[in-house]
Amino acid sequence: MRNILIIFCSLFPLSGLLANPQNPVKKPNIVWIVCEDMSPHLGSYGEKVAKTPALDQLAKEAVRYTQVYSTAGVCAPSRCALITGNYQTAIGGHNMRTLGLSANALDDYPKGLKPYSAVLPAGVKCFSEYLRMAGYYCTNNAKQDYQFDAPVTAWDESSKKAHWRKRPDKSQPFFSVFNIETTHESQVWVREKQALLVNPKDVMVPPFYPDDSVSRKTMARFLSNVMVMDQQVGAIINQLKEDGLYEESIIFFYSDHGDGMPFVKRELSQRGLKVPLLIKAPNLPKGKVDNQLISFVDFGPTVLSLAGVTLPKTLHGQPFLGSQKAKAKRQYIYAARDRMDSEYDRVRAVSDGRFKYIRNYMPEKSYYQNIKYRLQNPLMLHMLALKNAGKLNETQMKWFRPTKALEELFDTQNDPHEFNNLANNPTYKDKLVELRGKHLAWIKQYGDLGAKPELEMIKEWWNGQDKPPVTEKSNVAIANGTVQLSCPTAGASIGFRKNSKETWQVYTKPFSLNNGDSLYVMSHRIGFVPTEVRLKN
């Protein structure tokens, strides 16, 4: 971050749009409870082994959505789509991952790649910033993983202690996100020695795993983690009840993508993309099942619609609830797979809810990727050992095929594991042509940065330099105790506060500053280096 100290500022003209007057109607509190790496393993979705009483009770009081899909089978790209309401492939957040590469892990990534924030198109922001502009207190606890450093304007607080209970004004509406790590891929080995809550003998082993003690124990560990996660969800719900907020709040529960298991996570199969979604709201019917198609890019627009915030034109998704609910339901969902850690690939998918089309842009590459991180999973190591010993059957070897078909088409209703490619079956030619056309139209409409080499993309963003561009400092105009702020950098967010311990506020309109007050102003275009201005009035 670049800091600039200013002792005196001249008068500059105000630029940019000021916020619209706020709707006096009481705004709803909205809570997101997000677990990681979990397909719909809830009792309300038919799970028989893992017991999830807290979420099953929530389902009885909520709408249960059955056709909800992540835009990627892995966390960071999908979270990029969630927080922006944009397809990650259109804005540069498609490679897994761009940030969080420790010095010890750099060897696990392609040569020459170093951590970077995706440089988003001007005007694309975290949707939580629009909520803050509308008067919401916004918290994130605590995972971000957006593929970029979030501006200070994104959240009132983003930390492991962030909570709606910390808002100074208890009448202020809030949007609070809680991310639960317990079901994450890593917890299969981190919690390996903890007592199991599920009997391995009761586990349903899918046909792409060997049905043996290692598979059963690993899956039992994962399902035990699901049960612990359910208890943690119940604790958050109890806090809402303790505060007298449960009945009036809108609650979302979902997972960031499918199970964190081999041949599931990072894949564009149903098991990699399909997630549970429960939404409880005062005006929604209890216990209803909704089968409409929903994409992660729709989540942000839906929250804004529920909050009564005018939707910005930069969004790719459409709201499925609220005052600005889309007139027509979604007909297709889209997903993408790009670099995963050290391994490059480019795969795109489109589905109408039953038939799924997959385009493999690098068919010469294997389905399986040798990713160091998941080699910590005992089932992954076991499968590799069996493969090398020639002991996997034909179904279990499908993941290890050395090349891919250029196009794939699956009937996920009759072939849920997506083993039978129908792309060359003349019976399904019309469906193939339809979904292929939707895929190409999607790329034409939104663009696809995955077609560009990653280092070349970064070089263009950074104007040929070896570091990202810097957000220009904000212009600060003070006249008669009134402050106006503007930033010359297109698409930059502006945050301000009057002392170093205050929460950063989103600048939307002129504000007052008393004699003797300090002023801190932060300008940040996502992907650029932020710049801070400090002054004493």
Residues 177 and 159: beta-carbon distance below 8 Å? no
What's the pLDDT score for residue 25? 78
Average pLDDT over residues 272-297: 99
What's the pLDDT score for residue 101? 75
Q: Quote the domain boundaries for residue 316.
A: 30-327
Q: Is residue 513 assigned to a domain?
A: no
Q: What letter does residue 175 receive in the DSSP assignment?
A: E
Q: What is the pLDDT of residues 392-440, one digit of tens each?
A: 999 999 999 999 999 999 999 999 999 999 999 999 999 999 999 999 9
Q: Is residue 138 assigned to a domain?
A: yes
- 358 membership: H or E segment, kind and range: strand 355-360
Residues 27 and 308: beta-carbon distance below 8 Å? yes
Average pLDDT over residues 361-375: 97
pLDDT at residue 24 greater than cutoff 70: no
What's the pLDDT score for residue 128? 99
Instruction: Report the candidate in 529, 535, 454 with the shortest Cα–Cα distance to residue 93.
Output: 454
pLDDT at residue 12 greater than cutoff 50: no
| Burial tier of 502 (Cβ tally within 10 Å: 0-12, 13-18, 19+) | exposed
Q: Is the dihedral of CA 128, 133, 135, 137 positive or negative?
A: positive
Beta-bridge partners for 482: 479, 512
pTM for this entry: 0.95
Q: What is the pLDDT of residues 96-117, one digit of tens each?
A: 999 987 677 777 889 999 999 9
Provide the token pair at 132: 């803050």
Provide the token pair at 419: 């083993």
Q: Is residue 187 assigned to a domain?
A: yes
Residues 34 and 233: beta-carbon distance below 8 Å? no
Q: Is residue 337 assigned to a domain?
A: no
Residues 232 and 180: beta-carbon distance below 8 Å? yes
- 532 membership: H or E segment, kind and range: strand 531-536
- Cα separation values, 256 from 64, 229, 259, 369, 416, Å: 16, 14, 9, 21, 20
pLDDT at residue 21 greater than cutoff 90: no
- Determine phi and psi for 329, rounding to 5 degrees: -75, 155
| Burial tier of 444 (Cβ tally within 10 Å: 0-12, 13-18, 19+) | exposed
Amino acid identity, residue 214? V
Q: Is residue 213 assigned to a domain?
A: yes
Q: Is residue 499 assigned to a domain?
A: no
Instruction: Report the candidate in 377, 332, 327, 339 with the shortest Cα–Cα distance to residue 356.
Output: 332
Please confirm, yes or no, whether 75 is among the known catalytic residues. yes
Q: Is residue 36 assigned to a domain?
A: yes
Structural domain total, the chain: 1
What's the pLDDT score for residue 1? 64
Percent of the chain with pLDDT over 90: 92
Q: DSSP per residue over 291-315, as a string?
A: EEEEEGGGHHHHHHHHHTPPPPTT-
CATH of the domain at 301: 3.40.720.10
- What does the mean pLDDT of the chain come to? 95
Which entry of 75, 80, 138, 487 is annotated as an active-site residue? Answer: 75
Beta-bridge partners for 347: 337, 360
Q: What is the pLDDT of residues 320-337, one digit of tens each?
A: 999 999 999 999 999 999
Average pLDDT over residues 471-478: 98
Q: Is residue 62 assigned to a domain?
A: yes
Provide the token pair at 11: 């008068």
What's the pLDDT score for residue 213? 99
Residues 257 and 273: beta-carbon distance below 8 Å? yes
Q: How far apart are CA 236 and CA 180, in angstroms?
A: 11
What's the pLDDT score for residue 536? 84
Q: What is the pLDDT of residues 177-206, one digit of tens each?
A: 999 999 999 999 999 999 999 999 999 999
Q: How far apart are CA 304 and CA 136, in angstroms?
A: 11
